[in-house]
Amino acid sequence: MTQTKQTRGACAFCGRKMTGNGMVKHLSACPKRKDTLSENDQKTGKKQKIYHLKVQDAWLNDFWLHLEICGSAILKDLDSYLRSIWLECCGHLSQFSVGGWKGEEIAMDTNVQSIFRPGLILTHIYDFGESSETQIKVVSEREGTPMTEHPIYLMARNELPEVATCTCGKSGAWLCLDCAEQDDEVALLCDKHAKDEHQDHALMPILNSPRTGRCGYSGPAEPPY
């Protein structure tokens, strides 16, 4: 899919919208986030290291997430989260590695706190046939009480990218999978063209995931992840 402009997303704390890169600086300074963390740290609960992660598709940079993950979590928790929000279709294998696709594999039961440090970049691969590759960067760490009982907290996510169709220039809403099989190209369709010209074809809605159009992907799981 070809995005028409850089995607933006809303901060979960204050609602301000900005790009994925801009969100890195914003989250470190957001007054409402600081107030929320301060209030949360007053609650009873064991404090631990918590890491800010910037997650993005390795090839489609308009798909991104800003997450916090507890140091007590394991990589399997992060793998399950990425599957739920972005990737899961047919139960494919996946792995984490350092150094890219052919880098050193890291076991799924690895404790986050034992390897995470600011600046670390991991690669996550889902499905070794029609693969999805995700880059995960550790932006920063803090000491505090987790925001929820879940090991991962979503701080920001890109909004659905606007996708131009190849015929009329309107924003695409559907993929024609039949056309993709016949022409080896993905047909991007607006609502009108999907209804008028491809109503008898296999259509898939364009979803807020880099996995859209691949294998049997049909959308994310229901939150919470």
Summarize pLDDT for 157-185 with one digit per residue, the tens: 999 887 666 677 777 777 777 776 665 55
Summarize pLDDT for 50-61 with one digit per residue, the tens: 999 999 999 988
The pLDDT confidence band at residue 1, using thresholds 50, 70 and 90, is: very low
The pLDDT confidence band at residue 88, using thresholds 50, 70 and 90, is: very high
pLDDT of residue 217: 87
Instruction: State percent of the chain over pLDDT 90.
Output: 64
Tell me the DSSP string of the chain: --BSS--EEE-TTT--EEEHHHHHHHHHH-HHHHHHHHHHHTSSS--EEEEEEEEEESS-TT-EEEEEEETT-BHHHHHHHHIIIII-SS---EEEEESSTTSEEE-TT-BHHHH--TT-EEEEEE-SSS-EEEEEEEEEEEEE--SSSSSEEEEEEBPPPPBB-SSS-SBP-EEEHHHHHHHSSPEEE-HHHHHHHSTTS-EEE--SSTTTTSTT---PPPSP-
Domains detected in the chain: 8-157 (3.10.290.30), 163-212 (no CATH)
